[in-house]
Structure 1
Amino acid sequence: MNWRWSRALAGNSGGVSEAVVVLGYRNPQATANLINRWRVRVGLRSIAADHKRDTRVIFSGGATSTGAAEAQLMADYAKSVLEFDGTVFLEDQSRTTWENVTNVIPLLEDVDRIKIASQPAHALKARAYLRRQRPDLADRLVRADDYRPGEWLIVKPLLALYGLWTLRGLENDERKISL
């Protein structure tokens, strides 16, 4: 299921410029939590080698408690720990996946390719939301490097069950693999 979700609603858009949107996850502590660190790594490994200079990474997520915004924590992790020195944008107001998508749209309008980095089910949900909110941008969606065989092997069945629950609101045509 994770393999299928990773490929659903993602095409083969061409072009030079791309945006990688990294979606945050509840983060009440002062540093990026395990899930957010993994999502940052997914986002950074999703940058096409031949498009590195033309890629912007957008970290999206607001504060879930009195602490810093998820977007800031993820950006800090990318820069200080992973030594990422590319172009970074922060969207630090959203509290839901729908808001993540809504709030990053202005940062996506001028790019040729859009990748959404998260767990495969969550990324599919965000791609479906982008398709609903801005169908004109949906044809720019391409697959992020969010599925790798053997990664998160022990928890993958649990992630799949959780994914089934979170994707229950999607239409059947939003679950199909795009070729």
Structure 2
Amino acid sequence: MTWVLVAAGLVIAVIVWAEIVHWRSSRRLTGPDRGGSEAVVVLGYRNPRSDRANALNRWRVRAGLRSIDPTAPCSRLIFCGGPHEAAVMARYATEERGYGGQVIREEESRSTWENIQDVIPYLEDVDRIKIVSNPLHAEKGRLYLWRQRPDLAARLVRSADYRVGEWAPLKPLFAVHGLLDLAKSTKNLAAQA
């Protein structure tokens, strides 16, 4: 009986740790939200050659949609990830989720660095920028924007891609992968400097 309690305690501790990692990551490299026009950049994930967005891309679209401020004078929803990912995410947002606002598909990028690089022209004229993905991947995107265009990165605000308990069973895996990926990205950026 004691080992069951210990095992349950360890599972709970790992899930709480993952929640904290995601919560903190969702807030890093962002500033205060002062309102105004916005661009919501949704980073895509590899999607098998299917006409339907996979589960992760569907979740990212929903997080992007809930990140839109209904009081914004202008909102621009941008989907990244090459022609296939951008298309299936845009279709999911408009046809299945009923989004009727401005949609832009960035269809050339093949990496997170390129996602950010290729959306810069769509960010120039907005007051605030939200990058949406799972929180650690979105932090990586924000880090890349700070590296590529600090003037635009100063407009970064939090998105709504973190919710307590959402994806809870997978959050520990996402946290480990995301932390390792962020460490690698930070190391690579430092080596380039």
Could you state the TM-score of these two structures normalised by the residue count of structure 1? 0.89
Q: Does 1:91 align with 2:106?
A: yes
Aligned positions, number: 167
Paired position in structure 2 for 1:2: 22
Paired position in structure 1 for 2:117: 102
Higher RCO (CA 8 Å, separation ≥ 6 residues): 1
**Structure 1 residues 78-133: Cα deviation after superposition (integer angstroms, max 9, x where no partner):** 01110000111110010100000000000000000000010000000000000000
**Structure 1 residues 19-48: Cα deviation after superposition (integer angstroms, max 9, x where no partner):** 000010000122110000000000000011
In 2, the alpha carbon distance for the partners of 1:90 and 1:137 equals: 20
Q: Does 1:47 align with 2:68?
A: yes
SS in 2 for 1:103: helix
**Of residues 21, 25, 40 in structure 2, which corresponds to 1:20?**
40
Instruction: Give matches, 1:30-179, under 5 Å.
Output: 30-51=51-72, 53-63=73-83, 69-171=84-186
Segments of 4+ moved more than 2 angstroms:
169-172
Deviation at 1:164, TM superposition (A): 1.1
Deviation at 1:13, TM superposition (A): 3.9
**Structure 1 residues 130-161: Cα deviation after superposition (integer angstroms, max 9, x where no partner):** 00000111110000001100111111111111
Q: Please say which of residues 76-85 and 5-14 is displaced more in the overlay.
A: 5-14
Compare CA radii of gyration and give the structure with the larger one. 2
Unaligned runs of 5+ in 1: 64-68, 173-179
Unaligned runs of 5+ in 2: 1-20, 188-193
Q: Is the 8 A contact 1:59 1:90 kept in 2?
A: yes
More helix by share: 2
Identity of aligned residues (%): 58
Q: Is the 8 A contact 1:13 1:139 kept in 2?
A: no
Could you state the TM-score of these two structures normalised by the residue count of structure 2? 0.83
SS in 1 for 2:29: coil
In 2, the alpha carbon distance for the partners of 1:113 and 1:125 equals: 18
